[in-house]
Chains A and B, each alone.
Chain A
Amino acid sequence: LAKTTQPISMDSYEGQEVNITCSHNNIATNDYITWYQQFPSQGPRFIIQGYKTKVTNEVASLFIPADRKSSTLSLPRVSLSDTAVYYCLVGRFYNQGGKLIFGQGTELSVKP
């Protein structure tokens, strides 16, 4: 299972774009990259998943370079409610027998 490295914490202000980069040098060919958001005392919420290039949904974009050794989660125009911990995971859930490996995550603090 590929290990991920991401910043422990980040600060931002309302209305700004936030980019959180995750390093995963040992990513395997069949691995997907998935990001989760977690608020205190709640379960992680699936944000976005991708395999290569760029993926966009209604809440975020995920940029994956050609070598796939890193990925960047982009949150456009953050608000106070985006203050949370963001986890980057690498793997193929189904084939891993359901074992997701969570790192420390990035604690994002959005200020007014």
Chain B
Amino acid sequence: KAGVTQTPRYLIKTRGQQVTLSCSPISGHRSVSWYQQTPGQGLQFLFEYFSETQRNKGNFPGRFSGRQFSNSRSEMNVSTLELGDSALYLCASSQGTEAFFGQGTRLTVV
């Protein structure tokens, strides 16, 4: 059974640009959530989607958005990138009490 797949693995963007990250959950999982990990703040919850609906949202500015498609694949978008957005972005999929993470996308904003 394939795990959670995130693409791309690495990304370098310039301040002010926007970026889209992709997450393919484990087959059959309908819940996809996103997290940001930085050395200073640790792992922080961004948002969660279930059956194409955002069910929960963390405390991040509106520049961070996401969506989920009918096949459960999810994307997150960050607009007007800032240097502080440099982080490891992780997605997790779940269909119950267990959540499984992808390898993450390392975003560097220069």
Contact = CB atoms under 8 A, between A and B. Distances in A.
- Chain A interface bracket (under 10, 10 to 19, 20 to 34, 35 or more): 20 to 34
Interface stretch (A17-25, A36-44, A75-83): A36-44
A98 B90 contact: no
- Chain B interface bracket (under 10, 10 to 19, 20 to 34, 35 or more): 20 to 34
A19 to B, nearest CB: 23
Nearest to B30: A94
Interface string A82-94: 0000010000111
Given A43-B90, A102-B42, 18 more contacts: A32-B97, A34-B98, A41-B88, A41-B106, A42-B103, A43-B101, A43-B104, A44-B101, A94-B96, A98-B32, A98-B55, A98-B94, A99-B45, A99-B56, A100-B45, A100-B99, A101-B45, A102-B43
Interface of B: 4, 6, 31-33, 35, 42-45, 48-50, 55-56, 58, 88, 90, 92, 94-104, 106
19 contacts: A36-B101, A42-B104, A43-B92, A44-B101, A49-B97, A87-B43, A94-B95, A98-B45, A98-B92, A99-B33, A99-B45, A99-B48, A99-B56, A100-B33, A100-B92, A102-B35, A102-B43, A103-B42, A105-B42
